[in-house]
Amino acid sequence: MQTPQQLYPLNLTVNGAEVSAQVPSTRRLVDFIREDLELTGTKVGCEVGFCGVCSVMLDGEPVAACHMLALQTDGREIQTIEGLSARPACAKLRDAFVDEGGFQCGFCTSGQLVMGTALLEKHDVCEMETADLALAMAGTSCRCTGYYGIHRALRKAAQ
Ligand code: FES
Ligand code: FES
């Protein structure tokens, strides 16, 4: 007979709401977000911290949620794509993605918006060379767009 997994208390803020849960020590943050909280805007791709589609904001900084344990977020604040448009930079970027064709299949889009929001909030994107922009966004892969529409959207949102 299998021994039941030990559960640990987890208290954090998600998209502005306080959340309390009991999770096993091995529960990944991305699974906690998608399965326990049913916030499925955060996607799962490579699962090894490479593609960035699982990006969320943790205390205002983008992190790969596949590469963190849920318990590491105890007492901290998370914003997923569902809550991110409360940030003006994200709302502008989301609209610019639509205007500039920043997505095709859309699988990477929530990750792009998380990373792009963090970039817009800290850098003058209009002044960045394309190579620097590509490097700054390299943590989030896109298999469809060739990045042209994504870069146009970032520049438009920065204006
Ligand atoms: S699924 Fe997390 S980085 Fe790819
Ligand atoms: S829009 Fe399809 S992976 Fe980026």
What lines the ligand 1 site, CB under 6 Å? 44-47, 49-54, 64, 66
Is there a single domain that holds both residue 67 and residue 114?
no
Residue 2 has pLDDT above 80, yes or no: no
**Is residue 19 domain-resident?**
yes
Is there a single domain that holds both residue 104 and residue 66?
no
Residue 109 has pLDDT above 90, yes or no: yes
Question: Are the C-beta atoms of residues 33 and 80 closer than 8 Å to each other?
Answer: yes
For 22, counting Cβ atoms within 10 Å of its Cβ (0-12 exposed, 13-18 middle, 19+ buried), the class is exposed
Beta bridge partners of 14: 17, 78
* 140 token code pair: 């989030």
Closest CA to 63 of 42, 83, 34, 41: 42
How far is the C-alpha of 8 from the C-alpha of 10, rounded, in Å? 6
pLDDT of residue 85: 84
Question: Are the C-beta atoms of residues 82 and 128 closer than 8 Å to each other?
Answer: no
**Which of 58, 83, 108 represents a domain boundary (last residue)?**
83
What lines the ligand 2 site, CB under 6 Å? 103-108, 142-145
**Is residue 2 domain-resident?**
no
Is there a single domain that holds both residue 19 and residue 56?
yes
Q: Which ligand is nearest to the CA of 106?
A: 2
Which of ligand 1's atoms lies nearest the C-alpha of 30?
2
Is there a single domain that holds both residue 138 and residue 150?
yes
**pTM of the model as a whole:** 0.94
C-alpha of residue 60 to centroid of ligand 1, in Å = 18
Name the pLDDT band for 120 (thresholds 50, 70, 90): very high
Is there a single domain that holds both residue 104 and residue 68?
no
Note down the domain range covering 20. 7-83
Residue 97 has pLDDT above 90, yes or no: yes
Is there a single domain that holds both residue 76 and residue 89?
no
